[in-house]
Amino acid sequence: MGMTMVEKILARATDRPFVKPGEVVEPRVDLAMSHENSALVINQFQEIFKGTGLEAKVWDPAKLAIIFDHRVPAESAKTATNQKKIRQFVREQGIQKFHDIRGDEGGICHQVLAESGYVLPGYVVVGTDSHTTTHGALGAFAFGIGATEMASVWTLGRVLNVEVPETIKVIIKGKIPPFVSAKDVILALIGKITAQGANFKVLEFHGDTIRRLPTSGRLTLCNMAIEAGATSGIVPPDEETLRYLRSECNITDLNIDVFPDPDANYAAEVELDVSTLTPMVAFPHTVDNVKPIEEAYGLPIDQIMIGSCTNGRLEDIEIAAQILRGKKIARTVRLIVFPASYRIYHQALEKGYIKDLLESGAVVMNPGCGPCLGVHQGILGDEERGLSTTNRNFKGRMGNPNAEVYLCSPAVAAASALTGVITDPRHVESDARENVH
């Protein structure tokens, strides 16, 4: 019997010919990522070496990435002090994959890892962030771990006690209609299988829709796999993966040799036909409370956010700029935009998208996670209703348990900004003529 994509990766990372679900393994790690919560990891890491007489050195500084993104610039003295502590640790350990608060590099960790070429097909990637699942879009087994687990990885270069997960084969078929995107696809899937439907399993994406989907859309799918309870999401690498790594990351020496076997054993198969899919909206306060936009139409909105690790890529900013170009957002709504990285910010500037957004009345912020996390740069007020392209909408997620958060695509967000109520982008006149995923 063959193996799934993740089983293949884990077998190789443990020097075994075969692994199966339920077995406990300790795979080698190819990349370990943390953001500001590195301060917690440092504490745990140094604790490991106390009383040993050994110098506290990470196993391989070339395989660590630390990126400031959750609270940038620092919103408090505590955060600033923690960031200072991390900078000192980075210098002492010789960590080169460090992205500080700078306008010429960096951004949200999950976008930076992808566009910097830090993740390759077949990698085992761990991060102290639940949305590390994003990097399955590049054919890696990527998943989130806690600070104590990461301290162990920094020490040993392995993840201890990993149970080989079962895999659900997800087949997405059909041509995505205009003004419908990968965000609508993953919302529809989560609505179908529920927020617990993939608990402790991997979502392995297949189908003609996936083959046509650019890497930006695949990143969105895998980013939100965790919202269905999945350990990770993964897309087997193909020509699009090669194109992205070569053209976007300047990686020419590629050897992609890990694929799922045709006779792999899956825990279940789920099929979704997107040929007639409409824009989707996740209602409060769960991501699987998904409804077609027709059921959300007309709900007044106080604040709209476009961006995050889910939907802050160039294509997302492009569709928003096309919809808003030459128009003004409603006086009753605030629109804030967060590009996912400074590379994307610069590209959007060059293409005129930032100008379009600013002239419409939007506020364009530095790349970061502030409002999604609910710590700064866009917290909702009491009894306010937010519409967001982020990945979570549970009570208090955007900083206020007395507010409501609705999730949507960038196209829905931009169209709604024009009217001040949730609006179907297919009914708004704009320059957005092409389907952007």
Helical pair 314-324 and 410-419, crossing angle rounded to 10 deg: 30
Instruction: Classify residue 372: in a domain, yes or no.
Output: yes
Burial of 76 (0-12, 13-18, 19+ CB in 10 A): exposed
Phi–psi pair at 381, nearest 5 degrees: -85, 170
Q: In what order do the strands lie in the sheet with 31-34?
A: 97-99, 64-67, 31-34, 124-127, 141-144
How many domains is the chain partitioned into structurally? 2
pLDDT of residue 370: 83
Of 217, 242, 272, the one marking the end of a domain is 272
Helical pair 215-223 and 314-324, crossing angle rounded to 10 deg: 100
Which parts of the chain sit beneath pLDDT 50? Answer: 433-437
Cis peptide before 437 (omega within 30 of 0): no
Q: What stretches of 157-259 show up as alpha helix (H) in DSSP?
A: 182-193, 208-212, 215-223, 239-247
Q: Are residues 124 and 248 in the same domain?
A: yes
* Structure-token pair, residue 344: 């994307």
Residue 396, number of CB atoms within 10 A of its CB: 13
Q: Are residues 345 and 370 in the same domain?
A: yes
Instruction: Classify residue 436: in a domain, yes or no.
Output: no
**Sign of the torsion formed by the C-alpha atoms of 208, 211, 213 and 218:** positive
Q: Are residues 264 and 340 in the same domain?
A: no
Of 272, 289, 318, the one marking the end of a domain is 272
CB 174 within 8 A of CB 274: yes
**Residue-wise pLDDT tens digits, 348-374:** 999 999 999 999 999 999 999 888 888
pLDDT of residue 435: 39
Instruction: Classify residue 413: in a domain, yes or no.
Output: yes
Domain that holds residue 54: 5-272
Q: Are residues 336 and 242 in the same domain?
A: no
Q: Are residues 60 and 9 in the same domain?
A: yes
Instruction: Classify residue 437: in a domain, yes or no.
Output: no
pLDDT of residue 314: 97
Instruction: Classify residue 433: in a domain, yes or no.
Output: no
Instruction: Classify residue 179: in a domain, yes or no.
Output: yes
Of 272, 295, 313, the one marking the end of a domain is 272
Q: Are residues 246 and 286 in the same domain?
A: no
Q: How far apart are CA 294 and CA 301, in angstroms?
A: 16
Q: Are residues 253 and 315 in the same domain?
A: no
Q: Are residues 284 and 422 in the same domain?
A: yes
E strand residue ranges, 140-208: 141-144, 162-163, 166-173, 201-206
Instruction: Classify residue 435: in a domain, yes or no.
Output: no
Q: Are residues 249 and 348 in the same domain?
A: no
Instruction: Classify residue 59: in a domain, yes or no.
Output: yes
**Residue-wise pLDDT tens digits, 153-187:** 999 999 999 999 999 999 999 999 999 999 999 99
Q: Are residues 240 and 386 in the same domain?
A: no
**Sign of the torsion formed by the C-alpha atoms of 92, 96, 100 and 102:** positive
Q: How far apart are CA 361 and CA 285, in angstroms?
A: 28
Q: Are residues 294 and 366 in the same domain?
A: yes
Q: Are residues 113 and 219 in the same domain?
A: yes
Give the CATH number, domain containing residue 261: 3.30.499.10
